[in-house]
Structure 1
């Protein structure tokens, strides 16, 4: 497990490109036949990718960084199917996920494993986990169960569809919130005008990007921003003090997940465009 320690904005203002990437960018999430995990001390969020291959299921490991008997002993977990078809087995119960389906796994689930369900094609499963002090049932959410919300304008180049999976409506969790947003063709901006929320860490997984395309992800304090150049299926850890917004060289999608102090999706500290630097 890759461990990333928490950072503060006074330190981050002096980081160069490599330091920014080392601390906030998560790459190589999806490797055939492996589960890859990154532990962030920002609200103790764990990001990961599982890519099981045919006839070789993968078990969710527990690392010494967590130091529990099993991964979900004191954690909740969401599994989002980025691509392909997979079976996720939770304490003997199998759930089959296809593209854009999500499985919420509640605290106390002891055995979690992943298997391919589409012949030789290895699925890509994105994992997001946070500590939990409440137990909620495991729930499978199909992509077509989620009612999208249209946001943005063509003039602002930020037309997008927001899909909220875990936010206390379809799925209730302890503190984890998760969903994904599609940037519509002809638009390039996400979450602009941007915001912070000092009470939650938020992470983005960018996907549906062409191999040659990139997203310029903005982060840092609103009055002193920094940026990361992000490729397909790479994730960004955004500390609570940081803005999180991006502009792509083409349309794309991103999974967002949040964890922290409160449980209100609308809790945002909006930043006026004129205040960005």
Structure 2
């Protein structure tokens, strides 16, 4: 069963006038992962689609999504798939890919319907595409690893880059995830913005009572969202995106926009945050 929710883009002046429920209604995403359902959010920020697919009792097929305006979703789009569950099986273009937990499958423009099966729990991201790149399964050992931070500053972490120019080609979709060492909780601090790309986070591997406080907004006008396990946040191009948790966690980051230059960001000095 397919369910699609549309989220419209709003400007920073409107965003700063919202109360907690208004902030959550526009930027917070929950309930993505339901058995035997394809739940998608179609965002007007760079037309990114994010979603959860759980084929608990049989295969699920991602094909036509009315909001995309094409007969099949990948007619003019690309797709990144992260498995956060057990071993899964995804079929693209008639070829079956067995995808383990923590691995990413890329499906290029024109790949046709995508079938999800096995014991996987799939987080999917799709952006408009202009070129057809080959479908590719990126194993954990093939990801680019960037180790940052320290225990002393509570941000010792490793960034695993999957859809990245040094790992796998894509049109505009950048994708990977960041894992924290025990005792480390701060992500992406000092903060930054990149007005040329929007971003989406999925927080996962959180305990039942664990939360992440995600910070967003213009640097001089920040707000926060309280995030539970397997909840996502849409981050507009004008917004910072960082967070702190009540314990170690993992988050999947994805970007879409003008370029695939991961380092294209405008840093925000700590003294400028409000």
Alignment map for 1:100-249 (pairs within 5 Å)? 100-116=102-118, 122-249=119-246
Query: Distance in 2 between the 1:169 and 1:149 partners?
Result: 12
Q: Which runs of 4+ in 1 moved over 3 A?
A: none
Structure 2: segments with no counterpart, 5+ residues: none
Task: Name the SS of the counterpart of 2:26 in structure 1.
Answer: helix
**Aligned equivalents of 1:19, 1:259: Cα separation in 2:** 24
Partner of 2:54: 51
Q: Which residue is 1:32 aligned to?
A: 35
C-alpha displacement at 1:152, in angstroms? 1.0
Matched, 1:94 2:96: yes
**CA distance in 2 between partners of 1:178 and 1:134 (Å):** 18
For residue 256 of structure 1, report the CA deviation from its aligned partner: 0.3
Tell me how far apart the structure 2 counterparts of residues 177 and 63 of structure 1 sit (CA, whole Å): 22
Q: Which residue among 65, 69, 72 is the counterpart of 1:70?
A: 72
Unaligned runs of 5+ in 1: 117-121
1:153 is displaced (CA, Å) by 1.9
Residues 28-65 of structure 1 deviation map (CA, whole Å, 9 limit, x = unaligned): 111011111000000000000110024x1000042221
TM-score (norm 1): 0.96
Displacement after TM superposition at 1:183 (Å)? 1.3
* Counterpart Cα distance in 2 of 1:275 and 1:262: 26
Give the corresponding residue for 2:272.
275
Q: Give the TM-score taking structure 2 as reference length.
A: 0.97
- Residue 260 of structure 1 deviates from its aligned partner by 0.2
Residue 258 of structure 2 corresponds to which residue in structure 1?
Answer: 261
Alpha-carbon distance in structure 1 between the residues aligned to 2:117 and 2:39:
15
